[in-house]
Structure 1
C-alpha cells in the first residue's frame, strides 16, 4: 500500500512504543504529527525526526476533535496511555484501580468519537493500541487489563458504526503480547512483577522470550499498515519471537 507521504497522527508518540512507531513511520516517508502532553519530549522528537508536534491532553474531548479537523489524517494511531499504578488487588484504592480507565479508555472514547463524527475520509484507518493484559489479565495493575480490553471492544464497536453509517473507516486493534523494556509501562510493570516474584527484572523479562524493543514494535505496526494481507483483519498480536499474529478476524 505504501506509507510515503501518508498523513499520520500518533498520540503518545514522543516516548516508548509510540516513539518507536514514529521512527519507523518517518523512515517510510510518512508525514507524521505527534500528539502528547510533555512539551520537552515533543520538542526532542521534533528536532530529531522532523515531525510535526501538537501539545495536548489526549483526554481533552475538544482537543481530539480540533486536532483531527486540522490534520485530516489518513491513518490515526491511538497509543497514548497512563502508567498503571502497581499493587495487589487488596492494596489499591479506587483511584489507583480506575486510573487506566480515566486516561486510556476516556481518551480512546473521545478520539474514536471524533474520528467517526468528523468523520475521517473514507479509506482511513484507525489503529487502537491495546495490551497483552487484555488477553491474560494483569493482577498487579488494577484495572489496566480491563481498560485495555475495553479499548479492543471499542475499536470493534467503532467498526460497526462505520459500517452502519457507510463511512468507510477501518478500525483495528494492536496488541503487544509482552513487556517491553525502555517504556514507562513496561519498566514499571516489570519492576513490580519481578519484586513480587523475588527475581531480577532481566530474569522476569526473559520469560517473554525474544525482546521486542520499541523500534521493532514500530516496524511491526508499519507492516500491518503496509501489507495488504493485514488490511481486513481486526486484531493483531505483536511479539519479538513470533512477529505479527492475527488474534481476531471478525468484528461483527
Structure 2
C-alpha cells in the first residue's frame, strides 16, 4: 500500500534504538525524510550507519532549550516538519511509597512534558500548511496497572493529552493520535534483559499474559505508526490504539 509519505519530513524523538529506530526505518522505507534525536552519541552513530540519509541530532530531551534547538535544526535542514513522533520515554523508581518525588518529576519531564513541548513547537509549522500529524507513543500501562507507577502515570497523562490536543487542532488540518504498545522484544529493551536473566519466568509471563503467545516486534509498532501518520488514516483523530497481541485487559 502506498501511504503517500514520500518526502514528508518526520521527527522521531528517542529514535536511535528500539521502537524509535524501527519507526524511523519504516518512514524511510516509505520515502520520507527523517530526523531522529536522542541523548546517546554511540547509539546515534549506530543508527546513522543503519539508516540511509537519516539526520541524527544529539540532545538531552529533559532540557527545554535542547528541545527548542532540535526543532530549529530540523527546520533549518529540511524547511518544515510534517510528522512528529513523540517516542522518547523511560522508567524509574519502584512503588509510590519508595520512590522519591524527584523521580516522578523526571518521569513526567521525559515521558510527558517532552511530548507536550515538542507538539507545541511544531504546531505553528503545521498550522501554516493546514496539515500535519502527531503520533504519541504511550503504553497499555497508561490505561491499566502494570509496570512502574511513575511511567504508568506519565503515559496515562500522554493518552489524555493526545485526545485533548487532537480535538483542539483537527480544525487546522492536524491529526493527533497515539499508539499504546504492549510488551515488545528488541535487543536494547528491558524485556530482552529480563529474558536473558530469567528465561523460565519471562516465558511463563508470555504464556499467561499475552494471548497471542509471543512478544510483539518493533516492526509491528512501526507499521501502525506510519499508517496513522498517513492520509489513509484521515478519519482517525484523537485515538490511542493498543498494539499488544491482546495483552491489555481493557475492553475500550
TM-score w.r.t. length of structure 1: 0.80
Q: In structure 2, do the counterparts of structure 1 residues 234 and 159 end up closer, same or farther at CA, with 3 Å as the change threshold?
A: closer
- Identify which of 220, 233, 237 aligns with 2:237: 233
The answer to whether structure 1 residue 53 and structure 2 residue 68 are counterparts is no
Q: In structure 2, do the counterparts of structure 1 residues 224 and 182 end up closer, same or farther at CA, with 3 Å as the change threshold?
A: same
The answer to whether structure 1 residue 38 and structure 2 residue 40 are counterparts is yes
Give deviations 1:222-245, integer Å, cap 9, x for gaps: 222336245433223243536xxx
2:83 aligns to what? 75
* 1:155 to partner: Cα distance: 2.2
1:90 aligns to what? 97
* 1:40 to partner: Cα distance: 1.0
Structure 1, unmatched stretches of 5+, are: none
Q: Is the 8 A contact 2:228 2:236 kept in 1?
A: no
* 1:86 to partner: Cα distance: 4.8
Q: Distance in 2 between matches of 1:155 and 1:240?
A: 19
Q: Is the 8 A contact 1:59 1:110 kept in 2?
A: no
* 1:127 to partner: Cα distance: 0.7
2:177 aligns to what? 172
Q: Is the 8 A contact 1:15 1:41 kept in 2?
A: yes
Dislocated runs of 4+, deviation >4 Å:
117-120, 183-186
Q: Distance in 2 between matches of 1:153 and 1:147?
A: 10
TM-score w.r.t. length of structure 2: 0.80
Give deviations 1:52-78, integer Å, cap 9, x for gaps: 111112233233333334242111101
Q: Distance in 1 between matches of 2:62 and 2:225?
A: 24
Q: Is the 8 A contact 2:166 2:237 kept in 1?
A: no
RMSD over aligned CA atoms reads 3.0
1:126 aligns to what? 134
The residue correspondences of 1:93-242 to structure 2 (distance < 5 A) are 93-117=100-124, 120=127, 121-138=129-146, 140-162=147-169, 167-176=172-181, 178-182=182-186, 186-187=190-191, 191=194, 200-206=201-207, 207-208=209-210, 209=212, 210-226=214-230, 228-229=232-233, 231-239=235-243, 241=245
* 1:104 to partner: Cα distance: 1.2
Q: Is the 8 A contact 2:159 2:240 kept in 1?
A: no
Q: Distance in 2 between matches of 1:61 and 1:122?
A: 26
Q: Distance in 1 between matches of 2:121 and 2:21?
A: 23
Q: Secondary structure at the match of 1:145?
A: helix
Aligned length: 236
